[in-house]
């Protein structure tokens, strides 16, 4: 499946996205690479063309900009060769909720959440009609950890996780595979503004992507490379499902009844 088809990867200039580009090129896939930094994209593309012989097309775009996002959406709608979308571009904003500006946080939501929604929405009808296609969404373990001190970033990543699981339910029966990938701290430029002495232990980006692709090959819906004990996520999922089972009661729970 997907053997001879092209992969569009967002955030392919550095870090996890650049490794995805390299790994998919080595698997023989043609590439369409999206990011803002055209020099880095060109550098990556030249190396991958030379080393792997695949065709690499560049689509420079700032995904927080409506008109540039529209160009990427159009490519996904119209380019029948693309059968895999990797929604990887993402970032964070320094500071705390009290010091971060509303404008920066709105841009963060545009990049980490809205662009994932819009690009998935652009490509899904073509994939569903064809009965095949894959969407890989890079979320984060912070989707599961709202108390870890990065409120809006965590919320965007929870959006990506929930969207991925819901789309897998919706589009899976139509032949479309949706994977959410949840990295923990991974050595990339996303940490460049954090003081060396405050950096957590990191996974290498190459190890993260190789593990994520092992999950992709197994058609896992949620892949968490740093989680060694898989049973913990399975227990979490079954607890979550048990909360919502039979929740459609028409009367409030006893504990909310007032005596008045
Ligand atoms: N590294 C970690 O510890 C970690 C942990 C969990 C999840 N993640 C997630 O992994 C994904 C990749 O991040 P990374 O760690 O590889 O960081 P990174 O090296 O900083 O890469 C981020 C990528 O996103 C692109 N990007 C940033 N803003 C953009 C914009 N406005 N429009 C288009 N592209 C934009 C960047 O390219 P340009 O600057 O050229 O635009 C770059 O290619 C992100 O979604 C991140 O949230 C990372």
Instruction: Cite the beta strand spans of the chain per DSSP E.
Output: 6-10, 31-34, 56-58, 82-87, 133-138, 176-181, 186-187, 203-204, 222-223
List residues near ligand 1 (CB under 6 A): 10-17, 35-37, 40, 61-64, 88-91, 111, 138, 140, 183, 185-186, 188-190
Residue 180: its pLDDT value, please? 98
- Take atom 41 of ligand 1 and give the residue whose Cα is closest: 36
For strands 6-10 and 31-34, give the pairing.
parallel
All residues at 6 or more sequence positions from 258 whose CB lies less than 8 Å from its CB, including other chains: none
What string of pLDDT tens digits covers the 260 residues of the chain? Answer: 666 699 999 999 999 999 999 999 999 999 999 999 999 999 999 999 999 999 999 999 999 999 999 999 999 999 999 999 999 999 999 999 999 999 999 999 999 999 999 999 999 999 999 999 999 999 999 999 999 989 999 999 999 999 999 999 999 999 999 999 999 999 999 998 888 899 999 999 999 999 999 999 999 999 999 999 999 999 999 999 999 999 999 999 999 998 76
Between helices 115-130 and 66-78, what is the axis angle to 10°? 10
- By alpha-carbon position, which residue is closest to atom 1 of ligand 1? 186
Instruction: Give the CA angle between residues 129, 26, 120 to the nearest 5°.
Output: 30
Burial classification of residue 206, based on how many CB atoms lie within 10 Å of its CB (0-12 exposed, 13-18 middle, 19 or more buried): middle
Q: How far is the CA of 255 from the centre of ligand 1 (A)?
A: 45
Ligand 1 center to 238 CA (angstroms): 31
Pick the CATH number of 6-229 from 3.40.50.720, 3.30.1130.10, 1.20.1630.10, 1.10.3720.10: 3.40.50.720
Tokens of 205: 């980006």
The whole-number pLDDT of residue 38 equals 98
- The preferred substitution site among 9, 11, 184 for testing ligand 1, maximizing ligand atoms within 8 Å of CB, is 11
DSSP result, 102-131: HHHHHHHHIIIIIHHHHHHHHHHHHHHHHT
Q: Residues with Cβ < 8 Å from 21, sequence gap 6 or more? A: 7, 9, 12, 31, 33, 44, 48, 56
The confidence score (pLDDT) of residue 258 equals: 87
Instruction: Report DSSP state, residue 201.
Output: P
Provide the token pair at 183. Answer: 């990295």
**What is the b/e burial string over 152-173, where b = at least 16 CB atoms within 10 angstroms of the residue's CB?**
bbbbbbbbbbebbbebbeebee
Active site residue 153: yes
Catalytic residue (choose from 20, 153, 177, 256): 153
């Amino acid at each position: 499946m997907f053997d001879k088809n092209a992969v569009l990867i967002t955030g392919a200039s550095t870090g996890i996205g650049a490794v995805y580009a390299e790994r998919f090129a080595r698997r023989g896939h043609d590439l369409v690479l999206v990011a803002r930094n055209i020099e880095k994209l060109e550098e990556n593309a030249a190396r991958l063309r030379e080393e792997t012989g695949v065709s690499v097309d560049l689509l420079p775009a700032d995904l927080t900009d409506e008109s540039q996002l529209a160009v990427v959406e159009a490519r996904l709608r119209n380019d029948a060769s693309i059968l895999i979308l990797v929604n990887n571009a993402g970032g964070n904003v320094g500071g705390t909720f009290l010091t971060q500006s509303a404008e920066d946080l709105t841009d963060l939501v545009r990049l980490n959440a809205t662009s994932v929604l819009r690009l998935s929405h652009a490509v899904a009808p073509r994939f569903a009609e064809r009965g095949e296609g894959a969407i890989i969404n890079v979320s984060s373990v912070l989707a599961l950890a709202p108390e870890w001190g990065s409120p809006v970033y965590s919320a965007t990543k929870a959006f990506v996780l929930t969207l991925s699981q819901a789309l897998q339910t919706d589009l899976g029966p139509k032949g479309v595979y949706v994977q959410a990938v949840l990295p923990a701290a991974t050595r990339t430029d996303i940490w460049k503004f954090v003081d060396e002495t405050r950096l957590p232990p990191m996974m290498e980006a190459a190890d993260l992507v190789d593990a994520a692709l092992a999950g992709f090959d197994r058609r896992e819906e949620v892949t968490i490379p740093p989680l060694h004990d898989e049973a913990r996520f399975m227990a979490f999922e079954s607890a979550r499902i048990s909360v919502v089972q039979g929740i459609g009661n028409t009367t409030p729970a006893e504990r909310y009844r007032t005596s008045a």
